[in-house]
A and B are shown apart, each in its own frame.
Chain A
Amino acid sequence: MNRVATIALLALGACGPLFAHDDGGHHGAGAMARPRGPILGATAAFDANGVLWAVHFDGPHLVVSRSNDLGRHWAAPTRVLAQPEPMDGGGDAKPNIAIGPAGEIFVTFTKPLSKPYTGEIRFARSTDGGHTFSPPRRVHADRQEITHRFDAMTVTRDGRLLVAWIDKRDLPAGGKAADYAGAAVYYAVSDDRGATFRGDYKVADHSCECCRIALLPREDGSVLGFWRHVFTPNVRDHALATIGTDGQTTGFRRATFDDWRVDVCPHHGPSIAADSRGTLHAAWFSGAPGKTGVYYGRLEPGRVAGQRRIGGETAEHADLAIIGDRIAIVWKEFDGKRSTLRALRSDDRGATFVESELAVTDAASDQPRVLTRDGRFYVFWNTRSQPLRVMAVQ
């Protein structure tokens, strides 16, 4: 469909689902004008050769594209699924991509089921350099029609694949939501590069229900998990734990202390990375009254060091990465007309930062993600005006 036709359809208030949900069915009275165009949720990862792989939507299809030149050119996309499935794709519920130890391309996404906020975590992989993908499969053993959503994925230092998600199986059967605060974080592990998974292992009870989970692989083969939690009675600050590929989680602790007491869905998950000395640096959002904002800080036992506000009144969705002692944080802000992508850079492990503006768009945009390659930082930002955009962070 050309642009003029698209605009005309919008102007006429054409009814219809987004392509990714278009199953050919009829729309009820509730159907109404929705923006047409692929869902913007997209993520990207570099492989060992510096090739950038992105998972994104192309019309109704979840696809993977590759770029050999840092996003200046993208090869024709490959469909992950032979037939489109319903899937979440916006905000914190994006599809995810990771690269395996032998160059496998791993993709996860959440397939919504018929009841509200239920879903299934799905996985597909390519073992032939992105030419073809395996049929999608469910990651978790649990088959209930409940929440399994907000998938997160990482490859451990010893080459295993770990997928974590938000899970509501521990809510008492027939009980009210008030009987169990929030949801739980569960995970599964693949020892054979995505051929099979074992699990489901629990990380913790009482996570928040609707924020992305941050995963950080550690040198010993474990993974640090960092997520928005529900501390008694309803404090939506963040928790940290070491997730073992043996199914054991250790070292659970509270990691942020803004004391945001609310029953809310922030849709605003955190980001975490470690510096050369092992210090943990994080970015997160808090809506605590009087101190609402996006924050950076270093996660120390029982406290946050160097906590500072990121950006202005409209700052959103910060992401953070580290190379040695150098930190890059990116986020977006809206000024009434345009969204601006901004960055904070530190060369001294977070003691001092320099802020800069990276890009601007006057159209809808996805959350940005920071990537690293060959000692440099890059930002991946999917916008309606400039899809799959990649920028260096100086």
Chain B
Amino acid sequence: MTAARTRRWRGFVAAVALLALANVGHAAPAGDVKPFDASSLAAIKTVYANRPFVLAFWSIHCAPCLEDMADWRAFRQRYPGVPILLVNTDTSDDGKRVAAALARHRPGNVDKWAFADEFTERVRYSIDRSWRGELPRTYFYDSQHHVDVVSGRLDRTWTDAWFSRVR
């Protein structure tokens, strides 16, 4: 691919991603969920170039994930400048149970996404080839997009220190 074509392609990806992320930072309608596939992370990184963000994967079948929701709400309030993207991974469920879980556990004004590709290996590989699907799985990207990966429930102390450092 030539440099010119690469630039055009990147511009296209960024434009698409900006459209997809138009609601970031605003009060999105409750339950508004965006489709996440194998191209999404690259687009999100483009939109958040030189900015930190958190990408947190969860399932309605994962009790620790739901227990983390209140913590996401609290971190979102305390560090409003750091985007938090919650991505649901339940491709074999309809959106209703996902929406019900979000309404019940209230993660707050975070950006809500859901897997839109049933070939989940492909989506996971686009994020981290060593991720075997365990949940919760959270990726903390600093402003240079160096990433800290956490499997399992949030460690509030560690997470608060991370937000405090990158905000």
Interface residue total, chain A, C-beta cutoff 8 A: 56
Q: Which A-chain residue is minimally distant from B35 (CB atoms)?
A: A33
User: Shortest CB–CB separation between residue A236 and chain B, in angstroms?
Assistant: 9
User: Are B95 and A34 in contact, CB atoms less than 8 angstroms apart?
Assistant: yes
Identity of the chain A residue whose Cβ is nearest the Cβ of B114 in the assembled complex:
A32
By CB atoms of chain A within 10 A, which of B32, B94, B133 has the most?
Answer: B94
- Select the residue from A115, A267, A313, A384 with max chain B CB neighbours within 10 A: A267
- Contact digits for A20-49, partner B, Cβ 8 Å, 1 yes 0 no: 011001011111111101011100000000
A28 & B121 in contact (Cβ 8 Å cutoff): no
- How many residue pairs link A and B with beta carbons under 8 A? The number is 161
User: Are B114 and A116 neighbours in the complex by a CB distance under 8 Å?
Assistant: no
The answer on a CB contact under 8 Å between A116 and B60 is yes
> Which of A264, A267, A314, A364 contacts B61 (CB under 8 A)?
A267
Q: Does A265 contact B (CB under 8 A)?
A: yes
How many whole Å from A82's CB to the nearest CB in chain B? 22
Q: For the complex, what is the distance from the CA of A175 to the CA of B100, rounded to whole Å?
A: 22
- Is B95 within 8 A of A30, CB to CB? yes
Q: How many residues of B contact A (CB 8 A)?
A: 50
Q: Which residues of A contact B119 (CB under 8 A)?
A: 363-364, 384
Q: Which residues of chain B are within 8 angstroms of A114 by Cβ–Cβ distance?
A: 100
> When A264-B134, A363-B119, A364-B120 are in contact, do A34 and B91 touch as well, CB less than 8 Å?
yes
Q: Does B47 contact A (CB under 8 A)?
A: no
Chain A residues near B165 (CB, 8 Å)? none
Q: Which residues from chain A contact B130 at a C-beta distance below 8 Å?
A: 292, 313-314
Would you call B96 and A264 a contact (CB within 8 A)? no
Interface centre among B92, B99, B100 (most CB of A within 10 A): B92
Q: Do B91 and A263 touch across chains, with their CB atoms under 8 A apart?
A: no
Alpha-carbon gap, A316 to B121, bound state (A): 10
**Which of chain B's residues has its CB closest to A337's CB?**
B122
> What is A's interface to B at a CB cutoff of 8 Å?
13, 15-18, 21-22, 25, 27-35, 37, 39-41, 88-91, 93, 112, 114-117, 149, 177, 209-210, 262-268, 285, 287, 292, 313-314, 316, 332, 334, 336-337, 339, 363-364, 384
Interface residues of B (CB under 8 A from A): 29-35, 59-67, 90-102, 104-105, 114, 116-122, 125, 129-130, 132-136, 151-153
Interchain residue pairs with CB less than 8 A apart (17):
A18-B93, A21-B96, A28-B96, A88-B92, A89-B92, A90-B90, A112-B97, A117-B60, A117-B62, A117-B63, A209-B63, A210-B63, A265-B62, A265-B136, A287-B132, A316-B133, A336-B129
